[in-house]
A and B are shown apart, each in its own frame.
Chain A
Amino acid sequence: MASSSPINQPRSIRWSWQLISVLLVLFTLGPVAHAAADRPGPAIAEQALQALLATQRAASQDCAAPNNTLQNALCTGRLRIGIRTTYKGFGVQAAGELVGFEIDFARHIAKVLGVTPEFVSVTAADRIRKLIDGDIDMILATMAHTPERAEIVSFIRPHYYASPTAVAGLKSRQVSTLDDMALVSICVPLGSYANITFAQADARMLIFDKPQRMFDALRFGACDLVAHDRSLILGEVTGPLAPDDMQAQYEEKFSFNEISWGMAVRHEDADTLGRALALITVSAHGQGVLIDLAKRHGVHAAFLDSQQQLWSDANCLSPDATFMTSCLLEPPNIGDAPSALAPHVNAFQQWLQDHLDIEVQLPMLSGEEGFNLFKRGIAVSIILVISSIAATILFGLLFYQLSRSSLAVVRWLSGAIRILSLNAPLILLLVLAYLIMSGFVIYSAPIAVLTAVLAIGLNNGAPAGEALIAAAKTLDRNPALVDVLNVSMVQVRACVINAAKSSPVGAFIGAPELLSVLTDITSFSGERAVTFTLLAVFYILTVQLVIVASGLVATRLQRSLGSGARHA
């Protein structure tokens, strides 16, 4: 009986078998080998991905005990992906359906993994918390890779997208660099690190937590400029996908600070789901999948072309699909560096969390830039309050003295200025003072404070002057100033208190007082609750202090005037 084993077959037949086997292997592996030669990067990544998935399936013991997010997704056939649903071009809900570059990339990832994507809507504010809380398995939601965020979650590299911050505005508006932005009002997204740059440029920021609200504000004229990732500016304001009226009116002025966007997973999933996502991204870059998707949704960026070039050959991958670190982009260090107080502040925040279950952030103390701004804001506010009070008293006395001038023209002119200053809204007086001052001197922060002091002094000094003049009429023909002050003390004191209350309005013309700097800090830190509570407490205490101090001064003055009168 002839054996079927080739070993026992005659040599010619054995050679024939070997030849057929070699041909079969070449025939089967030919296209793969060709593809690998054509796109070695993607081929290596795909091979590594299949090996990883096989290992994970095996490790889950036929899904009896999945012990990480990837195994769980492979077993349940579902992957929960946090996506944006209000970000044009990247993720929006249109006619009940999700569309966008990130949505399609998420679908691509799910297809490669062999699972069904489950989309969970996230915002810039809650995406990391949802991942940490286990509400989602991964983030694919326009998230810039920063060192601060990387401490909390694991970013996937290579990055899948990158976008600079673009500044757009009315075509008629003359702004071309950051140097042109002093006092210019700009709508910015809450918590964007690019806002540090605008704060340093002395721009007046209006903060919005939702992109749509921000563009809505730009449309109705709340701000002169708008800043966001260029991808969104293109989609909403200047690009071909933007509404016609926006395209007609607005244009991109300049852009800066390109930042890479990364998907993110929990730290414990970095070597499993994170690794799988990284390999899928390599393949998607190398094969041009991401370029196709970006073009389809009108968000194509030069970054994608450079990444395709990088990952389409084998230079960035070792044979076991380890990434060359030189091919991976590091997150830019654009956040606020820790201040000298940071360790104590962090310890205090942790103590509050542990003992009182209160989650508090103090960016004005923990960050270097934030702390410097905060210190400057408090100092300027105190200077502004004291100077405004002094200016109010001085203008009051000046108006009173001018009203007693022997020259009719002086009396008439000072009366006209007094009535105008008394009845005009402070904010318009500030703008008027700003327009006059900026015509004579180079406008800067100290000049802004001086201008604010003059306008606040005029606005509150005018009623103080009125009170002095009215008091003088109730006294002798030529009353002494101390007697006039004594009679009008209540009204003058009210003007002094009002000057302290009005002082934060100086922020409107660029005085870098506490309200102004805390708005800046909020814009890049994203924290609002504690910051604005602190602001409220500061000004309430300041005004209360002025009320108490002015009361004491008034009482003492009246006593000394009274005793003086008795002695006389």
Chain B
Amino acid sequence: MLENIWLFLDAFTINLRVGSIALLIGLLIGFASALLRARNRSATAKLTGFFVGFLRAFPVYVLMFVAVNLLASLGLFDALTSKQSAEAALVIALSAYTISTCSDAWLAFLQNRDQGQHSQAWLVIPNLIQIYVITVMSSSVGAAIGLQEAVTFTLNLAESLPTRNERLLLVFLVVLFFATIMGLTRWGVKRVSAMVIQAPAKRQMSSTG
């Protein structure tokens, strides 16, 4: 039991790693694209906006399969092992999500900062934390291409259990695990965001008071 929990957490580190790499890509490209989009009415801004919109509309699950098959057919994964190429495909797919959402978050940051709403601008931090957590959760789709992350580990473990009820219980417990992390993050982000938004009003009240 304890060994399986350790193995599960070990597999979960793959979700964290994949999520972190995708977020890093999203942060960098998203920031660059937000800078370009912030140039109102320019052709570059429109083009970048179209690119971000295109990535936003691309289903992560489909993009992962497109990456694993299309890039492999072009020989781009030749130097990688099957494990590495599965990870690379998943990172590419998740990056489409992180680039589009980070770009939106950075754009809001830049616009708020330019309008002098500094405390609103810092809402970018809880937003990015939420994007990271969603990315880590979404990395569970890697199970479909055989990546040995937490969901694949769970499904393999469930397969070894003798009865349907035991399998159901195991999957339910893992759903609870993910839901708790995600729920707590959403709650934390909401609280922090509320505090950030209310901070200037409170400052104003205390200064007038």
Contacts and interface: CB of A to CB of B under 8 A. Distances in A.
| Residue of B73, B83, B86, B172 most packed against chain A (CB within 10 A) | B73
| Residue of B72, B154, B158, B167 most packed against chain A (CB within 10 A) | B72
A535 B179 contact: no
B144 interface: yes
Contact of B159 (A207, A224, A420, A504): A224
Contacts of A420: 175-176, 179
Given A420-B176, A508-B143, A501 B57 contact: yes
Contacts of B127: none
Contacts of B176: 420
Interface string A508-520: 1000000100010
A326 interface: no
Interface in B53-110: 54, 57-63, 65-66, 69-70, 72-74, 81-83, 85-86
B175 A429 contact: yes
Interface stretch (B41-49, B117-125, B134-142): B134-142
A209 B65 contact: no
B168 interface: yes
Given A427-B140, A515-B62, A519-B65, A528 B73 contact: yes
Contacts of A478: none
B155 interface: yes
A428 B58 contact: no
A529 B176 CA distance: 39
A504 B54 CA distance: 17
Interface string A525-539: 000110111011001
B178 interface: yes
Contacts of A535: 62, 65-66
A435 to B, nearest CB: 5
Interface stretch (B23-31, B145-153, B195-203): B145-153
Contact of A529 (B61, B70, B182): B70
Contacts of B175: 420, 424-425, 428-429, 432
Contact of B140 (A209, A222, A428, A522): A428
B59 A425 contact: no
A505 B144 CA distance: 9
B66 A222 contact: no
A332 to B, nearest CB: 27
Contacts of A207: 69
Given A206-B146, A439-B164, A431 B63 contact: no
Contact of B58 (A216, A427, A507, A536): A536
A426 B156 CA distance: 18
A502 interface: yes
A222 B178 contact: no
Interface in A7-41: none
Contacts of B189: none
A459 B165 CA distance: 23
Interface residues of B, number: 53
A439 B165 CA distance: 9
A254 interface: no
Given A172-B160, A432-B172, A507-B144, A502 B59 contact: yes
Chain A: interface size category: 35 or more
B59 A432 contact: no
B59 A504 contact: yes
Nearest to A419: B183
Contacts of B81: 213, 216
B146 A222 contact: yes
A380 interface: no
A208 B73 CA distance: 10
B146 A223 contact: yes
A502 B182 CA distance: 18
B194 interface: no
A423 B178 contact: yes
Contact of A428 (B69, B72, B144, B178): B178
B174 interface: yes
B144 A529 contact: no
Given A208-B82, A428-B151, A533 B144 contact: no
Contacts of A341: none
A83 interface: no
B21 interface: no
A435 B161 CA distance: 13
A297 B182 CA distance: 55
B57 A547 contact: yes
Contact of A220 (B148, B155, B174, B183): B148
B83 A423 contact: no
Interface string A419-451: 110111111110110011011000000000000
Contact of A185 (B57, B70, B146, B168): B146
Interface string A492-510: 0000000001111101100
A528 B89 CA distance: 15
A540 interface: yes
Contacts of A216: 81-83
Nearest to A541: B57
A516 to B, nearest CB: 10
B145 A206 contact: yes
Given A436-B168, A528-B69, A423 B183 contact: yes
B59 A423 contact: no
A539 B151 contact: no
Contact of B141 (A173, A422, A427, A536): A427
Interface of B: 54, 57-63, 65-66, 69-70, 72-74, 81-83, 85-86, 137-138, 140-141, 143-148, 151-152, 154-156, 158-160, 164, 167-168, 171-172, 174-176, 178-183, 186
24 contacts: A185-B146, A207-B69, A213-B85, A220-B146, A221-B148, A223-B146, A224-B159, A420-B175, A425-B138, A425-B140, A425-B151, A435-B171, A504-B59, A505-B141, A507-B61, A528-B70, A528-B72, A532-B65, A532-B70, A535-B65, A536-B66, A536-B70, A539-B58, A540-B54
Interface of A: 172-173, 185, 187, 206-209, 213-214, 216-217, 220-224, 419-420, 422-429, 431-432, 435-436, 438-439, 501-505, 507-508, 515, 519, 522, 528-529, 531-533, 535-536, 539-540, 543-544, 547
In the A-B complex, list the 3 residue pairs whose CB atoms are closest, starting with the nearest.
Answer: A222-B146, A423-B182, A423-B179
